[in-house]
Amino acid sequence: MDDPPKKISSHDKRPSEHAEIVLQTEDLTKCFDTFTAVDHLSIEMYRGDVYGLLGPNGSGKTTTIRMLLGLIHPTSGQVTVLRHSINDRRQRYQALWHVGAIVEEPVFYPFLTGRENLRGVATFACMPDNVTTNERIEEVLELVDLATYARLAYHKYSLGMKQRLALAATLLHYPQVIILDEPTNGLDPAGVVEVRELITHLAQQGISILLSSHQLHEIQQICSRVAIIKRGKLLVQGSVQDLLSEKQCITMSFPDPATLERAELILHTQPQEGTLWMRNARTIEVEPDANWIPPGGKVLELETTMEQAAIVNAFLGARGIYAAEIRRRNTSLEQYFLELTGLPPHVTPSSSQSS
Ligand SMILES: Nc1ncnc2c1ncn2[C@@H]1O[C@H](COP(=O)(O)OP(=O)(O)OP(=O)(O)O)[C@@H](O)[C@H]1O
């Protein structure tokens, strides 16, 4: 029996309890024949969230996104956007009207300018060819910081500019929710920064953004909340800040490798009731950015808070072992993900399913 998904308590980065839910799935499930790609997934996204949908390869992210956009029908469960159900034929149009998305590589005409391409998109979207539409095109060009390049042919755009033009196209009809599948995929570092800054800027305007990505370092920098899924099931959902503060660690360095070995042995064998948590101590390689590398290049890591570091220190001191340095170690989203899923963000679908 699988563990139920963890609920994470809220701190400052999580929307208040009065925050408006803009997108919600309830028990969303998709089966392909006998294979369940998405399994009773219940997530919610608040106004202004930059929400990361994370999971190893083949965990069901794209299938979920396709259901959120009404591109495929769920086997069961619900998707609601601003209280309109995508599953209800009468409400689907209203629900999807609030959504903009980039799910596949956007296609633009290479020899038309950025502005002309947006005019083309507006025409295809049946937006009237009038002053309001032209004003909106100028507005979105400003919003994605492409106004200066509006007269440049698309094929001369950098990868980051192309992605920003794609975002401009999704913004034309004033969506309140934007869904992006791997928005920084294939971008060079400068393009990644451009898109990251734009996403943050859009969220500040009250637009909620759901994105899937394998770039957990990126996700950690831009997302306010994340959901981590594996084999279609939700493992955890919460604010990045809360998830990471749940996993506080300290590292202890010792004057020489033999002292470290003795300290580890003591921590594994001697703690009694009340201090048994110290038994989680393990030797790890020192982080490369540490300001001091102890002899042997290894440190002891304990999953505990800096407040409890004094207890470990005193415990070892009473047994004649003195640490040379104690540091707080921040867990990255990548480490958290790895511990939770047992998989790195990039694994082949077959290995993911067999694990
Ligand atoms: N049309 C389909 N028919 C059968 N199986 C499918 C279909 N679409 C997806 N799947 C399977 O569902 C599972 C989830 O696929 P999905 O593409 O949603 O995963 P993902 O998390 O987006 O993966 P990735 O990170 O590699 O893009 C995979 O095992 C995939 O092979």
CA of 137 to the centre of ligand 1 (A): 35
What pLDDT does residue 41 have?
A: 97
CA-to-CA distance for 105 and 199, rounded, in angstroms?
17
- Tell me if 242 sits within 8 A of 10, measured CB to CB: yes
From the CA of 324, how far away is ligand 1's center (Å)?
50
Cα 31 to middle of ligand 1, angstroms: 11
Going by C-alpha positions, the residue among 239, 228, 255 that lies closest to residue 339 is: 228
Residue 68 tokens, joined: 């959120």
Q: What is the pLDDT of residues 201-237, one digit of tens each?
A: 999 988 999 999 888 888 888 999 999 999 999 999 9
How far is ligand 1, taken at its centre, from the CA of residue 185, in Å? 18
Name the residue of 41, 62, 350, 355 to mutate for ligand 1: max ligand atoms within 8 A of Cβ: 62
SS3 158: coil
Q: How far apart are CA 284 and CA 303, in angstroms?
A: 12
267, 272, 275, 281: CA torsion to nearest 10:
20
Distance 142 CA to ligand 1 centre (A): 36
Q: Which atom of ligand 1 is nearest to the CA of 63?
A: 18
For each of the domains in the chain, give its residue range(s) and CATH number, in order of start: 6-245 (3.40.50.300), 248-330 (3.30.70)
Strand pairing class (208-212; 50-54)? parallel
Burial class for 186, CB neighbours closer than 10 Å (0-12, 13-18, 19+): exposed
Mind listing the pLDDT tens digit for each residue in 155-177?
999 888 998 999 999 999 899 99
Atom of ligand 1 nearest to the CA of 56: 25
What are the phi and psi torsion angles at 224 (to 5°)?
Answer: -85, -40
To test the pocket of ligand 1, the residue of 63, 181, 212 to mutate (highest count of ligand atoms within 8 Å of its CB) is 63
ipTM of the complex: 0.97
Q: Please name the residues in contact with 5: beta carbons below 8 A apart, sequence gap of 6 or more.
A: 233, 234, 235, 236, 237
Question: Best mutation site among 39, 53, 61, 214 for ligand 1, i.e. most ligand atoms within 8 A of its Cβ?
Answer: 61
Is pTM, for the whole model, over 0.80?
no
281 exposure class (CB count in 10 Å sphere: 0-12, 13-18, 19+)? buried
Distance from the CA of 232 to the center of ligand 1, in angstroms?
9
- How much is the pLDDT for 191? 81
Q: CA 336, CA 315: separation in Å to the nearest integer?
A: 28
Which residue would you say has higher pLDDT here, 351 or 305? 305
